[in-house]
Amino acid sequence: MAESFLELKNITKTFEGVKALDDVGLSIGRGEIHCLVGENGSGKSTLIKIVGGVHKPDSGLIVINGVESKSLSSIESIRSGIQIIYQDLSLFPNMTVAENIAMNQMLESNNRVINWKIIRTEAGKALEEIGEEIDLRERVENLSIARKQIVAISRALTQNAKLIIMDEATSAITKDEVNHLFEVIAKLQKKGISILFVSHKLSEVFEIAERVTIIRDGKKVGDYPAAELDNDRLVFLMTGHNFKVSPYRFNSAGADTVLSVKNLNKTGQFTDINFDLKKGEILGITGLIGSGRTELALSLFGLNVPDSGEIRVNGRALSIRRPRDAITAGIAYLPEDRLTQGLFVEQPIGNNIIITVLDELLNKLKVLVKSRQERAKNDWVKKLAIKTPSHRAPANSLSGGNQQRVVIAKWLATRPAVFILDGPTVGIDIGSKHNIHEIIRGLAGEGMAILMISDEIPEILDNCNRILIMSGGRIVKEIPDASKINAEEVFDVISKRAAESLGAAG
């Protein structure tokens, strides 16, 4: 391994009597691409925040360029060449690309007058350094997530970054954008910059990593050359469990059609959408971001009224113009962004669960009955195995996987006939992901019709019996038996169709 830039030795950190990190070590070489993996709650975020000077360790040493410290402040971390790009990117959306890239540098210069020419020059140099072109005058709020990441990386370069830590950098970008990000990372590596890459997507870990550090329950499991690991071994090291997944089997013979969509259109979003969904079926929809898949889901749930077409549930034609219409018809929707669209994160878990069924908890005088509320809250926490000491705890106290269980419980309480799941495991660790998949399969086994939308092709292949591929707002291919195709073949179809759509648009 190359000479170390950063070493963490015997790091321990306790919060309110709970050990978040227990004697953890980590070493990152100069110009190395290193991955840090572990389930939610394993201690990854705490370790990153110690490196970034947000938290001080209870014990242990931080060694940067051979210089030992017991702890760092945020400024000391930055001045040592460490830059952390968090999942939210920490950019100023109302400021320009140039301002976001160069502002920190200007602030550190202590000049009382801002020299806008210097800002644009420095920002342009940072982009040029990694071979990127973005309009320096464009407001960041108008950029895609992938372009925002380039801005965040460029900002790190203006701070003389020697180690860039990327936390879940690929959670909201397409496969093509991931490939481009990895090309940028390779350019950074050639410049001698180290990368610590944190991701739940294990396929990406194998694609980008030279070495992998695994932590579980606050303890280091080990460091491994990526070439010595495969998916099954890595999952076992992360979780302590072997997850064996077999394709979802569904016998359509005699199954009733629950949801029927005919000739559905929405100008600028999707065109001529036709499909049926049967009782007990898990139908997958995949495609690139922007293919129209989420817009379609929103239309089925009354949040994006289509221009024309027909939606039927159990044979009855519906006019779905608002979510209440969909819920009444037996349609539930788990949104892609659970934090902003699925939960009231500061409200208690129990309140989040019963919000969809408050009418059922009223007495004859239209007053909420406390005993009914308590029973419903406790029942759903138990049914979905939500890990919490009490349903009175706020939703933001839960891990990502348990938050998703709360959203699922909220909609199951409405007893839906059709459950639309948009990105059901986004940002969720491998163990929680497996448990969510088991819940979904169990619901289908009980007769619920499931529509699963995801850009994670393995997730679609493992859990769906049939797949629809969308591109350019159209269903471009139906795969009637998901067990007879592999991930590479699905991705080839998506890429080919996307290229054809771009060619037609051009």
pLDDT digits (tens, 9 = 90+) for 60-100: 999 999 999 999 999 999 999 999 998 778 899 999 999 99
Q: How far apart are the first and last CA of the chain?
A: 47
DSSP bridge partners of 31:
none
What domain range includes position 466? Answer: 247-330+416-506
Whole-model pTM? 0.73
Provide CB contacts within 8 A for 21, sequence distance 6+: 11, 12, 13, 43, 46, 47, 50, 57, 215, 218
186: in domain: yes
Q: ∠ CA(47), CA(35), CA(56), 5° rounding? A: 10
Question: Are 176 and 30 within one domain?
Answer: yes
How many independent structural domains does the chain possess?
Answer: 3
User: Per-residue pLDDT for 107 more than 70?
Assistant: no
**pLDDT tens track for 319-346:** 999 999 999 999 999 988 777 777 888 8
Mean pLDDT on 183-196? 95
The owner of tokens 């994670």 is 456
**pLDDT band for position 457 (cuts 50, 70, 90):** confident
75: in domain: yes
The owner of tokens 């013979």 is 253
Stretch among 170-179, 181-190, 218-227, 297-306 having the lowest mean pLDDT? 170-179
**pLDDT band for position 316 (cuts 50, 70, 90):** very high
User: Per-residue pLDDT for 40 more than 80?
Assistant: no
Phi and psi at 467, nearest 5°, equal -135, 140
CATH number for the domain including 484? 3.40.50.300
Structure tokens at 221: 């499991």
In this prediction, residue 479 carries a pLDDT of 94
What letter does residue 356 receive in the DSSP assignment? G
Provide CB contacts within 8 A for 204, sequence distance 6+: 170, 178, 197
In this prediction, residue 112 carries a pLDDT of 63
**pLDDT tens track for 8-39:** 999 999 988 888 999 999 999 999 999 999 98
61: in domain: yes
Burial degree of 15 (CB within 10 A; 0-12, 13-18, 19+): exposed
In this prediction, residue 456 carries a pLDDT of 84
135: in domain: yes
In this prediction, residue 366 carries a pLDDT of 74
Please give the single-letter amino acid code of residue 405.
Answer: R
Q: Which residues of 271-308 are buried (b: 16+ CB within 10 A; e: fewer)?
A: bebebebbbbbbbbbbbbbbbbbbbbbbbbbbbbebee
Query: Which of 367, 389, 414 finishes a domain?
Result: 414
Mean pLDDT on 397-415? 87
Question: Are 392 and 421 within one domain?
Answer: no
**pLDDT tens track for 370-380:** 888 888 888 88
Query: Which of 181, 209, 239 finishes a domain?
Result: 239
Query: Which of 398, 414, 430 finishes a domain?
Result: 414
Question: Are 384 and 477 within one domain?
Answer: no
Question: Are 305 and 385 within one domain?
Answer: no
Question: Are 193 and 47 within one domain?
Answer: yes
Question: Are 381 and 410 within one domain?
Answer: yes
**pLDDT band for position 467 (cuts 50, 70, 90):** very high
336: in domain: no
In this prediction, residue 63 carries a pLDDT of 96
Alpha helices by DSSP H, listed for 173-230, are 175-190, 202-208
Question: Are 479 and 405 within one domain?
Answer: no
Question: Are 251 and 263 within one domain?
Answer: yes
Structure tokens at 78: 């930055």
**pLDDT tens track for 344-357:** 888 999 998 888 87
338: in domain: no
445: in domain: yes
DSSP calls for 107-152? HHTT-SS--HHHHHHHHHHHHHHTT----TTSBGGGS-HHHHHHHH
In this prediction, residue 504 carries a pLDDT of 55
Question: Are 174 and 53 within one domain?
Answer: yes
Question: Are 135 and 162 within one domain?
Answer: yes
Q: ∠ CA(136), CA(184), CA(139), 5° rounding? A: 20
111: in domain: yes
User: Per-residue pLDDT for 110 more than 70?
Assistant: no
Question: Are 348 and 453 within one domain?
Answer: no
Provide CB contacts within 8 A for 106, sequence distance 6+: 114, 115, 118, 119
Question: Are 151 and 8 within one domain?
Answer: yes
Mean pLDDT on 298-310? 96
User: Per-residue pLDDT for 233 more than 70?
Assistant: yes
